[in-house]
Amino acid sequence: MIRSPIARTGTLKPARTRSRKCSVKGCSGRVTATESFVRWCSPACGTAIALGKLAKQKTAQQRIAAAAERADRIATKAKLEKFKRKPKWISEVQDLFNLIVRIEDRDLPCISCGKHVVDDGRPGGVWDAGHYLSRGSACHLRFDRRNVHKQCKGCNRPNGTTRAAHRAGVEARIGKEALDALEADQATRHYTIDELKSLKAEYAAKLKQLKEAA
């Protein structure tokens, strides 16, 4: 005689119910559901778990979007730099260099008048990085630290100070021998774009160190 599957296996047993702790943080309830995927002890805890999953998904999406935005900015910057002309590179390097000068000389007086001018909060501040030998007449010395020092805006403007006063300040700061060498320096310096890129990276790293130290 052929037995039916039911007769061979016997009666079906009910699913076993297990008790486990609710997965919601801070909840002391117990889960008594038969399904293994149920990890909440009440509708309120189930809602909390669902909202937590949604929050994690939203955070992940925001991170992906932020990473994509950063990548897009980097790519755009790289494209723009390909078309950046040499004068623009020089200007950017000069801005970093001048800021380094003002930070390094922050505790020193004006190179020309010898005064400690108090910053009154005006736009652009009250200090410049003053070139003793101007960038117009000695552009090869525009990034030479011997030639550039903190100078108040009043002295740095046209007719703001005399050359003699500026020269005296530089001589007192770096010494007569260094000043004579500076004035005799006629070596031409034609920076390539690659050299300017390297200078910009060098000054940016130095500026970061100065700001952290300050």
Q: Given this model, what pLDDT does residue 10 score? A: 54
CA pseudo-torsion sign 158, 160, 165, 170 = negative
State the chain's mean pLDDT as an integer: 87
The three-point CA angle 57-59-61 to 5° equals: 70
Can you tell me the distance from the alpha carbon of 187 to that of 140, in angstroms, rounded to the nearest whole number? 7
CA distance 142 to 145: 8
* Domains in the chain: boundaries: 41-83, 99-189
User: Residues of the chain with pLDDT > 70: what percent?
Assistant: 89
pLDDT given for residue 171 in this prediction: 97
- At residue 5, does pLDDT exceed 80? no
Contact, 156 vs 128, CB < 8 A?
yes
| Residue 127: Cβ within 10 Å count | 19
Residue predicted with more confidence, 32 or 64: 64
Question: What pLDDT was estimated at residue 13?
Answer: 58
pLDDT digits (tens, 9 = 90+) for 30-55: 887 767 778 888 888 888 888 888 99
Quick: pLDDT tens for 70-119: 988 888 887 777 778 999 999 999 999 999 999 999 999 999 999 998 87
> Do 105 and 133 form a contact (C-beta atoms < 8 A)?
no
How far apart CA 195 and CA 19 sit, in angstroms, is: 71
- Listed in sequence order, the DSSP H helices in 113-162 are 153-156
Q: Is the pLDDT of residue 203 over 60?
A: yes
pLDDT of 25 strictly over 70: yes
The pair of structure tokens assigned to 122 is 């005006």
User: What average pLDDT does the segment 50-66 reach?
Assistant: 90
- Model confidence over 147-189: pLDDT tens digits? 999 999 999 988 888 999 999 999 999 999 999 999 999 988 8
Please tell me the predicted confidence (pLDDT) of residue 196.
Answer: 96
What six digits make up the tokens of 70? 């950063």
Helix (H) or strand (E) holding 150: strand 148-152
